[in-house]
Amino acid sequence: MEPEKLRKLRTVITENLRVQGGGADPVPYIDVGNVLGDVGARQNHAIFGRRGCGKTLLLQHSAASLPQGVKPIYLNCEDFKKHSFPNVLIEILDALFGELEKHLPRWFGRKKRSKDLIADIRAHLALSKT
């Protein structure tokens, strides 16, 4: 194959190769730079990288390795990429509290106070949208 055609083919494959969650054959995360150790540290982390580089796979693997009682929440920020500032921040917060609300009974029991608090926060966020 000609070098230019090969380069274009590699680019197309790289741009379209992505691991999706929930597949029949799970793909293992291969930690080549001690990223799992870094993500597992008790510090906040921002995980970023080009599309398809394994960010979601890293987070899924990390979520499966969490200690008992620690619950992960995953938001696909791809859903917010066309939102404008500052509404994007409000939408992300609302989605976060929506996930908490959805899992509240399973994770924390039927705590009316928690449910009311989350509902109040989401109501305030709804009023903040411009």
The pTM assigned to this predicted structure is 0.60
For the chain, the structural domain boundaries read 1-68, 73-130
Structure token digits, residue 124: 């305030």
Dist. CA 43–CA 32, nearest whole Å: 20
Give the whole-number percent of the chain exceeding pLDDT 90: 9
Residue 123: the pLDDT is 92
* Best CA proximity match to 20, nearest among 78, 70, 67: 78
What is the model's pLDDT at position 98?
92
Question: Does residue 42 sit in helix, strand or coil?
Answer: coil
pLDDT of residue 87: 85
**Three-class SS of residue 22?**
coil
In order, the DSSP letters of 52-113 are TSSHHHHHHHHHHTPPTT-------GGGGTTPPTTHHHHHHHHHHHHHHHHHHHHHH-S-HH
Q: Which of 25, 35, 28, 17 is nearest to 60 (CA)?
A: 28
Residues of the chain with pLDDT under 70: 1, 15-27, 44, 108-110, 130
What pLDDT is stored for residue 1 in this prediction? 67
Q: For 9-38, what is each residue's pLDDT tens digit? A: 888 777 666 655 555 566 677 777 778 777
pLDDT at residue 93 in the model: 92
